[in-house]
A and B are shown apart, each in its own frame.
Chain A
Amino acid sequence: MAKIVACVCTSHVPAIGAALDNGKTQEPYWQRVFGGYEKSKEWIEKVKPDVCIVVFNDHATAFSVDVVPTFALGCAAEYTPADEGWGPRPVPVVHGHPELAAHIAQSVILDEFDLTIVNKMDVDHGLTVPLSLMFGQPKEWPCQIIPLAVNVVLYPPPTGKRCYNLGKAIRKAVESYPEDLRVVIFGTGGMSHQISGPRAGLINSDFDKAFLDALATDPQKAVDIKHIEYMREAGAEGIEMVMWLVARGAMDEKVNEIYRFYTVPASNTAVGHLILENASA
Protein backbone atom coordinates (compact mmCIF):
# COMPACT_ATOMS: atom_id res chain seq x y z
CA MET A 1 0.00 0.00 0.00
CA ALA A 2 1.20 3.50 -0.77
CA LYS A 3 1.51 5.83 2.18
CA ILE A 4 1.96 9.56 2.78
CA VAL A 5 4.84 9.66 5.25
CA ALA A 6 5.34 13.40 5.67
CA CYS A 7 4.43 16.86 4.51
CA VAL A 8 6.89 19.54 3.52
CA CYS A 9 5.72 23.13 3.28
CA THR A 10 7.96 25.74 1.73
CA SER A 11 7.96 29.05 -0.11
CA HIS A 12 8.83 28.87 -3.80
CA VAL A 13 10.29 32.33 -4.49
CA PRO A 14 11.71 32.51 -8.05
CA ALA A 15 14.76 34.51 -6.95
CA ILE A 16 15.82 31.50 -4.85
CA GLY A 17 16.02 29.45 -8.03
CA ALA A 18 17.92 32.22 -9.80
CA ALA A 19 20.39 32.51 -6.89
CA LEU A 20 21.01 28.76 -6.99
CA ASP A 21 21.31 28.60 -10.77
CA ASN A 22 23.72 31.55 -10.83
CA GLY A 23 25.98 30.18 -8.08
CA LYS A 24 25.12 32.83 -5.47
CA THR A 25 24.28 30.44 -2.62
CA GLN A 26 27.36 31.45 -0.63
CA GLU A 27 26.57 35.16 -0.64
CA PRO A 28 25.47 36.19 2.87
CA TYR A 29 22.01 37.27 1.66
CA TRP A 30 21.36 33.87 0.13
CA GLN A 31 23.30 31.84 2.70
CA ARG A 32 20.69 33.01 5.21
CA VAL A 33 18.01 31.36 3.04
CA PHE A 34 19.80 28.22 1.86
CA GLY A 35 21.28 27.57 5.30
CA GLY A 36 17.74 27.05 6.52
CA TYR A 37 17.31 24.06 4.23
CA GLU A 38 20.47 22.11 5.07
CA LYS A 39 18.72 20.00 7.72
CA SER A 40 15.77 19.48 5.39
CA LYS A 41 18.03 18.09 2.70
CA GLU A 42 19.55 15.64 5.20
CA TRP A 43 16.08 14.69 6.40
CA ILE A 44 14.67 13.95 2.95
CA GLU A 45 17.76 11.95 2.01
CA LYS A 46 16.92 9.64 4.90
CA VAL A 47 13.20 9.56 4.16
CA LYS A 48 13.87 8.64 0.52
CA PRO A 49 10.40 9.20 -0.91
CA ASP A 50 9.48 7.23 -4.01
CA VAL A 51 7.01 9.91 -5.06
CA CYS A 52 6.45 13.53 -4.10
CA ILE A 53 3.09 15.13 -4.72
CA VAL A 54 3.91 18.80 -5.17
CA VAL A 55 1.04 21.24 -4.63
CA PHE A 56 2.06 24.44 -6.36
CA ASN A 57 0.72 27.19 -8.52
CA ASP A 58 1.47 27.96 -12.09
CA HIS A 59 2.48 31.61 -12.56
CA ALA A 60 1.00 32.30 -15.98
CA THR A 61 3.31 29.74 -17.55
CA ALA A 62 1.35 26.62 -18.50
CA PHE A 63 -2.02 28.33 -18.06
CA SER A 64 -2.71 31.70 -19.61
CA VAL A 65 -6.01 33.52 -19.08
CA ASP A 66 -7.61 31.33 -21.78
CA VAL A 67 -8.35 28.57 -19.28
CA VAL A 68 -7.81 28.76 -15.52
CA PRO A 69 -8.37 25.43 -13.76
CA THR A 70 -8.89 25.61 -10.01
CA PHE A 71 -7.17 22.27 -9.36
CA ALA A 72 -5.15 20.59 -12.12
CA LEU A 73 -3.46 17.25 -11.52
CA GLY A 74 -0.49 16.27 -13.66
CA CYS A 75 -0.93 12.76 -15.04
CA ALA A 76 1.93 12.94 -17.55
CA ALA A 77 5.12 10.87 -17.69
CA GLU A 78 7.29 13.98 -17.70
CA TYR A 79 7.24 17.76 -17.37
CA THR A 80 9.72 20.17 -18.91
CA PRO A 81 11.06 23.10 -16.85
CA ALA A 82 9.50 26.20 -18.38
CA ASP A 83 10.96 29.33 -19.91
CA GLU A 84 9.33 32.04 -17.78
CA GLY A 85 10.87 34.89 -19.73
CA TRP A 86 14.43 34.60 -18.39
CA GLY A 87 15.11 31.26 -20.16
CA PRO A 88 14.37 27.84 -18.60
CA ARG A 89 16.00 26.97 -15.25
CA PRO A 90 18.91 24.55 -15.75
CA VAL A 91 17.25 21.79 -13.72
CA PRO A 92 16.44 18.18 -14.63
CA VAL A 93 13.26 17.20 -16.42
CA VAL A 94 10.60 16.25 -13.88
CA HIS A 95 9.46 12.63 -14.15
CA GLY A 96 5.89 11.95 -13.17
CA HIS A 97 4.14 8.88 -11.80
CA PRO A 98 1.28 8.60 -14.31
CA GLU A 99 -0.21 5.44 -12.78
CA LEU A 100 -0.49 6.83 -9.26
CA ALA A 101 -1.62 10.20 -10.62
CA ALA A 102 -4.39 8.57 -12.66
CA HIS A 103 -5.43 6.60 -9.60
CA ILE A 104 -5.57 9.77 -7.48
CA ALA A 105 -7.54 11.59 -10.18
CA GLN A 106 -10.11 8.83 -10.39
CA SER A 107 -10.42 8.49 -6.64
CA VAL A 108 -10.75 12.18 -5.75
CA ILE A 109 -13.09 13.01 -8.64
CA LEU A 110 -15.42 10.21 -7.56
CA ASP A 111 -15.03 11.70 -4.08
CA GLU A 112 -16.54 14.90 -5.55
CA PHE A 113 -13.40 16.99 -6.07
CA ASP A 114 -13.67 17.99 -9.71
CA LEU A 115 -10.04 18.10 -10.77
CA THR A 116 -8.79 19.00 -14.21
CA ILE A 117 -6.49 16.35 -15.65
CA VAL A 118 -3.32 17.56 -17.33
CA ASN A 119 -1.35 15.47 -19.78
CA LYS A 120 1.06 18.17 -20.89
CA MET A 121 2.39 21.00 -18.77
CA ASP A 122 5.66 22.89 -18.54
CA VAL A 123 6.49 23.48 -14.88
CA ASP A 124 7.69 26.83 -13.57
CA HIS A 125 9.52 27.99 -10.44
CA GLY A 126 6.47 27.17 -8.32
CA LEU A 127 7.34 23.50 -8.71
CA THR A 128 11.07 23.48 -9.40
CA VAL A 129 12.26 25.84 -6.63
CA PRO A 130 10.90 23.60 -3.82
CA LEU A 131 12.59 20.60 -5.49
CA SER A 132 15.88 22.51 -5.61
CA LEU A 133 15.57 23.55 -1.97
CA MET A 134 14.93 19.99 -0.82
CA PHE A 135 17.14 18.02 -3.23
CA GLY A 136 19.87 20.50 -4.20
CA GLN A 137 21.32 20.30 -7.69
CA PRO A 138 21.29 16.62 -8.74
CA LYS A 139 21.63 15.41 -12.33
CA GLU A 140 18.23 13.75 -11.97
CA TRP A 141 15.55 14.36 -9.35
CA PRO A 142 15.74 11.43 -6.94
CA CYS A 143 12.03 10.56 -7.08
CA GLN A 144 8.95 10.76 -9.23
CA ILE A 145 6.82 13.88 -8.96
CA ILE A 146 3.08 14.39 -9.24
CA PRO A 147 2.30 18.08 -9.75
CA LEU A 148 -0.99 19.46 -8.46
CA ALA A 149 -1.50 23.01 -9.74
CA VAL A 150 -3.86 25.20 -7.73
CA ASN A 151 -5.18 28.47 -9.12
CA VAL A 152 -4.12 31.31 -6.83
CA VAL A 153 -3.58 33.83 -9.64
CA LEU A 154 -7.16 34.63 -10.62
CA TYR A 155 -9.32 35.51 -7.63
CA PRO A 156 -10.88 33.59 -6.01
CA PRO A 157 -8.62 30.64 -5.36
CA PRO A 158 -10.27 27.64 -3.71
CA THR A 159 -10.95 28.20 -0.01
CA GLY A 160 -8.61 26.95 2.68
CA LYS A 161 -11.30 24.50 3.74
CA ARG A 162 -11.64 23.13 0.21
CA CYS A 163 -7.88 22.72 -0.02
CA TYR A 164 -7.70 20.96 3.33
CA ASN A 165 -10.48 18.55 2.40
CA LEU A 166 -8.87 17.84 -0.96
CA GLY A 167 -5.75 16.88 0.99
CA LYS A 168 -7.82 14.35 2.93
CA ALA A 169 -9.21 12.92 -0.31
CA ILE A 170 -5.71 12.66 -1.77
CA ARG A 171 -4.57 10.75 1.29
CA LYS A 172 -7.45 8.31 0.91
CA ALA A 173 -6.55 7.87 -2.75
CA VAL A 174 -2.88 7.25 -2.02
CA GLU A 175 -3.69 4.76 0.70
CA SER A 176 -5.86 2.76 -1.68
CA TYR A 177 -3.03 2.37 -4.21
CA PRO A 178 -1.74 -1.22 -4.02
CA GLU A 179 1.98 -0.65 -4.64
CA ASP A 180 4.24 0.02 -1.65
CA LEU A 181 5.28 3.60 -2.21
CA ARG A 182 6.59 6.19 0.21
CA VAL A 183 4.95 9.49 -0.64
CA VAL A 184 5.80 12.96 0.64
CA ILE A 185 3.36 15.76 -0.07
CA PHE A 186 4.64 19.30 -0.61
CA GLY A 187 2.60 22.43 0.01
CA THR A 188 4.34 25.39 -1.59
CA GLY A 189 4.10 29.17 -1.96
CA GLY A 190 3.82 32.05 0.47
CA MET A 191 4.44 33.16 3.05
CA SER A 192 3.41 36.80 3.39
CA HIS A 193 4.22 38.83 0.30
CA GLN A 194 2.77 41.29 -2.13
CA ILE A 195 4.53 41.86 -5.43
CA SER A 196 1.94 44.05 -7.12
CA GLY A 197 0.90 47.69 -6.82
CA PRO A 198 1.91 50.47 -4.45
CA ARG A 199 1.53 48.20 -1.39
CA ALA A 200 4.20 45.79 -2.76
CA GLY A 201 6.75 44.65 -0.21
CA LEU A 202 4.23 43.90 2.51
CA ILE A 203 5.46 41.34 5.05
CA ASN A 204 3.62 40.18 8.15
CA SER A 205 5.82 37.95 10.29
CA ASP A 206 3.25 37.72 13.10
CA PHE A 207 0.67 36.34 10.67
CA ASP A 208 3.20 33.92 9.20
CA LYS A 209 4.39 32.61 12.56
CA ALA A 210 0.81 32.13 13.75
CA PHE A 211 0.11 30.22 10.52
CA LEU A 212 3.12 27.94 11.09
CA ASP A 213 1.98 27.34 14.69
CA ALA A 214 -1.54 26.56 13.55
CA LEU A 215 -0.35 24.05 10.94
CA ALA A 216 1.73 22.29 13.56
CA THR A 217 -0.77 22.19 16.41
CA ASP A 218 -4.23 23.40 15.42
CA PRO A 219 -4.80 23.10 11.65
CA GLN A 220 -8.47 24.09 11.92
CA LYS A 221 -7.36 27.59 12.88
CA ALA A 222 -5.52 27.92 9.56
CA VAL A 223 -8.36 26.27 7.65
CA ASP A 224 -10.76 28.94 8.92
CA ILE A 225 -8.77 31.89 7.53
CA LYS A 226 -10.82 33.74 4.92
CA HIS A 227 -9.42 35.00 1.62
CA ILE A 228 -9.89 38.63 2.59
CA GLU A 229 -7.79 38.05 5.70
CA TYR A 230 -4.91 36.49 3.74
CA MET A 231 -4.92 39.38 1.29
CA ARG A 232 -5.27 42.14 3.83
CA GLU A 233 -2.90 40.71 6.45
CA ALA A 234 -0.37 38.74 4.41
CA GLY A 235 -0.36 40.62 1.09
CA ALA A 236 -2.32 40.05 -2.11
CA GLU A 237 -0.03 37.18 -3.08
CA GLY A 238 0.08 35.77 0.48
CA ILE A 239 -3.11 33.95 -0.43
CA GLU A 240 -0.81 31.27 -1.88
CA MET A 241 -0.72 29.83 1.62
CA VAL A 242 -3.99 27.97 0.95
CA MET A 243 -1.81 25.50 -0.94
CA TRP A 244 -0.09 24.48 2.28
CA LEU A 245 -3.49 23.35 3.51
CA VAL A 246 -3.78 20.71 0.79
CA ALA A 247 -0.57 19.14 2.09
CA ARG A 248 -1.66 19.53 5.71
CA GLY A 249 -5.01 17.91 4.96
CA ALA A 250 -3.22 14.78 3.81
CA MET A 251 -1.75 14.32 7.30
CA ASP A 252 -3.20 13.18 10.64
CA GLU A 253 -4.71 15.89 12.77
CA LYS A 254 -1.92 15.27 15.30
CA VAL A 255 1.54 15.62 13.83
CA ASN A 256 5.12 15.92 15.01
CA GLU A 257 6.92 19.02 13.93
CA ILE A 258 10.23 17.80 12.55
CA TYR A 259 11.65 21.12 11.44
CA ARG A 260 10.76 24.76 11.00
CA PHE A 261 12.53 27.67 9.36
CA TYR A 262 11.52 31.27 8.77
CA THR A 263 13.43 34.21 7.37
CA VAL A 264 12.69 37.59 5.79
CA PRO A 265 13.22 38.31 2.98
CA ALA A 266 14.00 36.45 -0.19
CA SER A 267 13.43 39.13 -2.80
CA ASN A 268 9.85 40.32 -2.01
CA THR A 269 8.80 37.43 0.16
CA ALA A 270 8.87 35.95 3.64
CA VAL A 271 10.35 32.45 3.42
CA GLY A 272 8.64 29.85 5.57
CA HIS A 273 9.32 26.15 5.79
CA LEU A 274 7.81 23.37 7.87
CA ILE A 275 8.25 19.60 7.92
CA LEU A 276 5.59 17.47 9.63
CA GLU A 277 5.27 13.74 10.21
CA ASN A 278 2.23 11.93 11.51
CA ALA A 279 2.29 11.47 15.27
CA SER A 280 0.90 7.94 14.83
CA ALA A 281 3.69 6.83 12.47
Chain B
Amino acid sequence: MEKPKKEYEDIPGTTVFDADQSRKGYGINMFCMSLLKAENRTAFKADEAGYLKAYNLTPEQTDAILKRDWNGMLALGGNIYFTSKLGATDGLSFQQVAAKMTGATQQEYADMMLAGGRSVEGNRSKSEWEHKNG
Protein backbone atom coordinates (compact mmCIF):
# COMPACT_ATOMS: atom_id res chain seq x y z
CA MET B 1 0.00 0.00 0.00
CA GLU B 2 1.27 3.45 -0.85
CA LYS B 3 1.96 5.71 2.09
CA PRO B 4 -0.68 8.45 2.47
CA LYS B 5 0.43 11.91 1.46
CA LYS B 6 1.03 14.31 4.33
CA GLU B 7 -1.23 17.33 4.09
CA TYR B 8 1.49 19.64 5.43
CA GLU B 9 3.75 18.84 2.48
CA ASP B 10 1.77 21.48 0.62
CA ILE B 11 3.06 24.32 2.83
CA PRO B 12 5.73 26.10 0.79
CA GLY B 13 9.27 26.70 2.01
CA THR B 14 8.65 24.52 5.03
CA THR B 15 10.02 21.15 6.18
CA VAL B 16 7.85 19.76 8.94
CA PHE B 17 9.96 17.85 11.45
CA ASP B 18 8.02 14.62 11.96
CA ALA B 19 9.04 11.12 13.05
CA ASP B 20 10.29 10.24 9.55
CA GLN B 21 12.50 13.33 9.46
CA SER B 22 13.71 12.79 13.01
CA ARG B 23 14.86 9.26 12.17
CA LYS B 24 16.63 10.48 9.05
CA GLY B 25 18.30 13.36 10.84
CA TYR B 26 19.13 11.62 14.11
CA GLY B 27 22.88 12.09 13.58
CA ILE B 28 22.61 15.77 12.61
CA ASN B 29 20.44 16.56 15.59
CA MET B 30 22.51 14.62 18.11
CA PHE B 31 25.65 16.32 16.80
CA CYS B 32 23.95 19.71 17.29
CA MET B 33 22.82 18.64 20.75
CA SER B 34 26.43 17.93 21.72
CA LEU B 35 27.17 21.63 21.12
CA LEU B 36 25.25 22.49 24.28
CA LYS B 37 28.51 21.77 26.14
CA ALA B 38 31.12 24.51 25.91
CA GLU B 39 34.00 22.01 25.67
CA ASN B 40 32.33 20.32 22.70
CA ARG B 41 31.89 23.66 20.94
CA THR B 42 35.63 24.21 21.32
CA ALA B 43 36.50 20.71 20.10
CA PHE B 44 34.21 21.06 17.08
CA LYS B 45 35.66 24.43 16.13
CA ALA B 46 39.18 23.02 16.36
CA ASP B 47 38.50 20.15 13.92
CA GLU B 48 35.03 20.23 12.37
CA ALA B 49 35.33 17.27 9.99
CA GLY B 50 37.08 15.12 12.58
CA TYR B 51 34.49 15.95 15.24
CA LEU B 52 31.61 14.95 12.93
CA LYS B 53 32.99 11.42 12.43
CA ALA B 54 31.47 10.31 15.74
CA TYR B 55 27.91 10.99 14.54
CA ASN B 56 27.31 8.38 11.85
CA LEU B 57 26.33 10.99 9.26
CA THR B 58 25.82 10.43 5.54
CA PRO B 59 28.32 12.25 3.27
CA GLU B 60 25.50 14.67 2.28
CA GLN B 61 24.75 15.44 5.91
CA THR B 62 28.42 16.01 6.71
CA ASP B 63 28.72 18.28 3.71
CA ALA B 64 25.62 20.29 4.64
CA ILE B 65 26.98 20.85 8.15
CA LEU B 66 30.49 21.82 7.02
CA LYS B 67 29.10 24.20 4.39
CA ARG B 68 26.50 25.61 6.79
CA ASP B 69 23.78 24.75 4.27
CA TRP B 70 20.96 25.53 6.73
CA ASN B 71 18.11 24.50 4.42
CA GLY B 72 20.05 21.40 3.38
CA MET B 73 20.37 20.32 7.00
CA LEU B 74 16.60 20.59 7.44
CA ALA B 75 15.93 18.61 4.26
CA LEU B 76 18.27 15.88 5.52
CA GLY B 77 16.40 15.55 8.81
CA GLY B 78 17.76 18.39 10.92
CA ASN B 79 15.42 20.48 13.04
CA ILE B 80 15.81 24.20 13.52
CA TYR B 81 15.94 24.01 17.32
CA PHE B 82 18.92 21.68 16.95
CA THR B 83 20.66 23.36 14.01
CA SER B 84 20.34 26.73 15.76
CA LYS B 85 22.86 25.37 18.27
CA LEU B 86 25.34 25.14 15.42
CA GLY B 87 24.33 28.73 14.65
CA ALA B 88 25.03 29.65 18.28
CA THR B 89 28.43 27.97 18.02
CA ASP B 90 29.13 30.21 15.02
CA GLY B 91 27.93 33.23 17.02
CA LEU B 92 24.67 33.55 15.09
CA SER B 93 21.29 34.43 16.59
CA PHE B 94 18.05 32.70 15.58
CA GLN B 95 17.28 35.69 13.38
CA GLN B 96 20.61 35.50 11.59
CA VAL B 97 20.14 31.79 10.88
CA ALA B 98 16.56 32.43 9.71
CA ALA B 99 17.73 35.17 7.35
CA LYS B 100 20.23 32.79 5.76
CA MET B 101 17.48 30.23 5.07
CA THR B 102 15.36 32.78 3.22
CA GLY B 103 18.14 33.90 0.90
CA ALA B 104 17.83 37.48 2.16
CA THR B 105 20.65 39.45 3.73
CA GLN B 106 20.48 39.95 7.47
CA GLN B 107 19.52 43.59 6.94
CA GLU B 108 16.80 42.79 4.39
CA TYR B 109 15.38 40.14 6.69
CA ALA B 110 15.46 42.39 9.77
CA ASP B 111 13.75 45.15 7.76
CA MET B 112 11.06 42.72 6.60
CA MET B 113 10.39 41.71 10.21
CA LEU B 114 10.22 45.34 11.36
CA ALA B 115 7.73 46.04 8.60
CA GLY B 116 5.43 43.33 10.00
CA GLY B 117 7.04 40.14 8.72
CA ARG B 118 6.33 37.96 5.72
CA SER B 119 2.65 38.09 4.84
CA VAL B 120 0.67 34.87 4.76
CA GLU B 121 -0.92 36.07 1.52
CA GLY B 122 0.67 34.17 -1.35
CA ASN B 123 2.53 31.93 1.11
CA ARG B 124 -0.08 29.37 2.09
CA SER B 125 0.47 26.62 -0.46
CA LYS B 126 3.04 25.38 -2.91
CA SER B 127 0.80 26.21 -5.87
CA GLU B 128 1.04 29.89 -4.95
CA TRP B 129 4.84 29.73 -5.02
CA GLU B 130 4.87 27.92 -8.35
CA HIS B 131 2.57 30.59 -9.73
CA LYS B 132 4.80 33.32 -8.31
CA ASN B 133 7.93 31.81 -9.81
CA GLY B 134 6.28 31.53 -13.19
Q: Which residues in A have some Cβ–Cβ distance to B below 8 Å?
A: 14-15, 18, 59-61, 64-66, 68, 82-87, 153-156, 192, 194-205, 207, 227-228, 231-233, 236-237, 264-265, 267-268, 270
Contact = CB atoms under 8 A, between A and B. Distances in A.
Contacts of A227: 8
Q: Majority SS of interface residues in chain A?
A: loop
A197 B89 contact: no
Interface string B34-62: 01111001000000000000000000000
Interface of B: 7-8, 11-19, 22, 25-26, 29-30, 32-33, 35-38, 41, 71, 74, 79-82, 84-85, 87-89, 93-95, 97-99, 101-103, 109, 112-114, 116-120, 123-125
A64 B33 CA distance: 7
Contact of A232 (B36, B95, B101, B124): B124
A204 B120 contact: yes
User: Considering the complex of A and B, which 6 residue pairs feature the smallest CB-CB distances, nearest first?
Assistant: A203-B117, A85-B88, A199-B13, A198-B13, A196-B80, A60-B81
A195 B117 contact: no
B52 to A, nearest CB: 17
B18 A236 contact: no
B74 A268 contact: no
A53 to B, nearest CB: 23
A202 B109 CA distance: 11
Given A153-B81, A233-B120, A197 B71 contact: yes
A66 B27 CA distance: 11
A85 to B, nearest CB: 3
A196 B12 CA distance: 11
A12 to B, nearest CB: 12
A265 B110 CA distance: 10
Contacts of B13: 197-200
B67 to A, nearest CB: 17
Contacts of B11: 199, 231-232, 236
Given A153-B81, A200-B98, A268-B95, 8 more contacts: A64-B30, A65-B33, A83-B38, A85-B84, A86-B88, A195-B84, A197-B14, A200-B109
Given A83-B36, A231-B11, A59 B81 contact: yes
A202 B79 contact: no
Contact of A154 (B18, B38, B102): B18
Contacts of B125: 232
A236 B79 CA distance: 12
Given A198-B101, A233-B124, A236-B14, A228 B116 contact: no
Contacts of B32: 60
A194 B35 CA distance: 23
A198 B118 CA distance: 11
Contacts of B37: 83
B102 A268 contact: no
